[in-house]
Structure 1
Amino acid sequence: MVTSREDAHGLWSALAARPAPGGGDTGEPTRLPQAAWRLDPDPAIGPDEVRVDVERLNLDAASFRQLREQHGTGDAVREAVLAIVAERGKMQNPVTGSGGMLVGTVAEVGPQSTTGLRVGDRVATLVSLSLTPLHLTDGLSRWDGTSERIPAQGHAILFGRTIAARLPEDLDPALALMVMDVCGAPALVRRVIREHRVLTGVDPSVLVLGGAGKSGSLCLAMARAERSPRVVAVVRDDTEAQAVDRAALATHVVVADARDPLGLTAAVDEVGGPVDLTVVCVDVPGCEQPAILVTRDGGTCLFFSMATSFSAAALGAEGLAADVRLLMGNGYVPGHAELALSLIRENPGVRGLFDQRLAEEGA
């Protein structure tokens, strides 16, 4: 189903005040932008919209992995992304349902916009490309299809409720984009840690699956900043283990396959056993039940990966008779961008991991 910009404008602006209307001439319910099959990327903006000249796209890790595994070569991945955007008016991987984010310069602001953005602002969107009208004009000719970060030219439309942040002047734009792409993860981890502290009077132990990645390393840094007494990083190999250890982001670093329930459980048992909070930051499916197994009864398992299956997590917890609170990570938490950027500024260990990733990708 195609969602017109008029539909999206009305729904997006009034969503807080009334439920989404249904019906229409087709007899189908109106879709919000993320659920719609196609969006209208017409550059003419509505009264509360913003048009952004696109400079770079950043695919989310799960989507990029799926495209790379399906299409193989970089040229084929590039053609797949172009086809998706042309067909759907947005970048929404049809397999994972996810997209990513973008960087660009504000070109036009509607008179009723409440975003606070001004023409000329260089911004990063803090919502998914899966709900952002997008049109590309350069055929992604500067992208070789081998990296999540895509030099691009075109335009995108921000709705009245779309959140975007001005790029900080003290950080490299590529670094800021990489941080903002996953900034919801550490903010939500902080919230859960503080909730646990209020309810129990003690600081929770924390385990992060995928501790060497972008979201994972920020979650580790947040756990350390919040004084968690035991912070366990689970990584996939010795190279990642050494990197996390050098960065001093965890009290314990474990090399294990996050998809292997028995192997992961045995490895975690060697460093103190189940934890109060498990955070899943890996971009592969099949980690739901292993994550639940290493979370103590009464604890919380936070899934911050687009590869997560809700049914596998819910039914897996039931099948394991696990009294564990299951949370699906929401990429938006008030103040999340500045919080994540402050971690990069203040924690040299996590900053080093991000700088190394940028260097390896040739940024």
Structure 2
Amino acid sequence: MTSSVGLERVLEPVGVLPQAAWRLDADPSIREDEVRVRVERLNLDAASYRQLSEKHSGDGDAIRAEVLEIVGTRGKMHNPVTGSGGMLIGVVDEVGPRSPLGVKVGDRVATLVSLTLTPLRITDGLSSWDGRSEQVPASGSAILFGRSIVGVLPDDLAPSLALAVYDVCGAPALTDRIVRQYDQPTVAVLGGAGKSGSLALAAARMAGARTVGIVRDEGEAASLRAAGIADAVAIADARNPVEVAAAVGEPATITVVCVDVPGCEHGAILATAPGGTVVFFSMATSFPAAALGAEGLAADVTMLIGNGYVPGHADFAVDLLRRVPAVRSLFEARLARD
């Protein structure tokens, strides 16, 4: 009997869900409720790519070799150090007769679930990727389950732009939901000039919040000021709790962490007002550090894991990109640099 959550794809250890598995079966033959996608491009999540780049001192050949080794060994792109993966775009190749995903052969789609649970084969050796960017041209196949999430790419966005937006589309949707639970809140976003950070700031502002963007240097600060989505912009090392709290100023009602480096938990907690909410969207977050740090600071804050899924999150993020041209410009500038 097939399973909508992909249990039959788990090779080891048996009995866990695909995300927790060490190794998946990436055979391209599909089961009745599965969909096979012909892979065109991977998007490695920021924390995973940063770890690989730092480990190999930016050596693109070495980074490419390790990504191939991970996928070949595990049957999925699941960085064993960061525990994170990313997502992909491609074209639907085959749809099982019992698939509930609502896609058809020939649709160009983005997978809205993590590569850490997506059976993946690479067939071109990533020969078109220089290893120096998060976006990875690739050929191969990926398998989606009955309970996977997938979005058909919009016609008015370049595939690389759509992929970048879909990669972080949970952040603005959840930020919008939380902002609407408070009366005239202040929202501070650590990493406000990045992909998820800029969308979170735009979503918060459109929902009526006062917004504060925290960035790492003057270049990012200038870009964020020009975008006009933050009422205040400040520079701080997100790993320095006192510096972050000072940069935010009056404690924020909601603090959103979108920084792809470890060690940012305590600053976010310290910068948040009693009764407020901290949302961790970074895969570099240590949740023991967050929990114990909040306890040690006697911080009465709600802490949430941004799990990347809110109903309607993909459409919400794409609509935000269309309505706020400055955010689109930030994304396009980042893609051009990469």
Superposed pair shares fold, TM > 0.5 = yes
Cα root mean square deviation, aligned: 1.6
Aligned to 1:65: 50
- Which one of 323, 330, 344 corresponds to residue 300 of structure 2? 323
Taking the aligned partners of 2:295 and 2:4, their CA distance within structure 1 comes to 36
Aligned to 1:261: 241
Counterpart secondary structure, 2:262:
coil
**Structure with the greater alpha carbon radius of gyration:** 1
Cα distance, 1:29 vs structure 2: 6.0
Cα distance, 1:204 vs structure 2: 1.1
Deviations 1:55-106 (A, max 9, x none): 0000000000001111221100000000000000000000011100000000
Matched-pair contact (CA < 8 Å) for 1:11–1:32: no
Deviations 1:19-75 (A, max 9, x none): x99xxxx9x760100000000001110000000000000000000000111122110
Deviations 1:103-133 (A, max 9, x none): 0000000000000010000000000000000
One-letter amino acid matched to 2:77: M
User: Please, what TM-score do these two structures have when normalized by structure 2?
Assistant: 0.97
1:194 matched to 2:180? The reply is yes
Deviations 1:186-234 (A, max 9, x none): 00001111122xxxxx121100000000000000000111111x21000
Aligned to 1:148: 134
One-letter amino acid matched to 1:345: R
Matched-pair contact (CA < 8 Å) for 1:40–1:133: yes
Taking the aligned partners of 2:36 and 2:157, their CA distance within structure 1 comes to 24
Runs of 4+ in structure 1 off by over 3 angstroms are: none
- 1:173-322 → structure 2 map (5 Å cutoff): 173-196=159-182, 202-228=183-209, 230-269=210-249, 273-322=250-299
Matched-pair contact (CA < 8 Å) for 2:192–2:201: yes
- Which one of 347, 350, 353 corresponds to residue 324 of structure 2? 347
| Residues 11 and 355 of structure 1: CA distance in aligned 2, closer, same or farther (over 3 Å) | closer
Taking the aligned partners of 1:171 and 1:280, their CA distance within structure 2 comes to 27
1:35 matched to 2:20? The reply is yes
Aligned length: 335
Counting aligned pairs with the same residue, the percent is 64
One-letter amino acid matched to 1:288: E
Aligned to 2:99: 113
Aligned to 1:17: none
- 1:39-118 → structure 2 map (5 Å cutoff): 39-72=24-57, 73-118=59-104
User: Please, what TM-score do these two structures have when normalized by structure 1?
Assistant: 0.90
Cα distance, 1:267 vs structure 2: 2.0
Cα distance, 1:268 vs structure 2: 2.0
Aligned to 1:12: 5
Counterpart secondary structure, 1:10:
coil
One-letter amino acid matched to 2:296: G
One-letter amino acid matched to 2:234: V
Taking the aligned partners of 1:346 and 1:244, their CA distance within structure 2 comes to 17
Counterpart secondary structure, 1:246:
helix
Counterpart secondary structure, 2:61:
helix
Structure 1 runs not aligned, ≥5 long: 1-5, 14-19, 197-201
Taking the aligned partners of 1:247 and 1:253, their CA distance within structure 2 comes to 11
Counterpart secondary structure, 2:320:
helix
Taking the aligned partners of 1:302 and 1:109, their CA distance within structure 2 comes to 36
Matched-pair contact (CA < 8 Å) for 2:276–2:302: yes
One-letter amino acid matched to 1:291: A
Structure 2 runs not aligned, ≥5 long: none
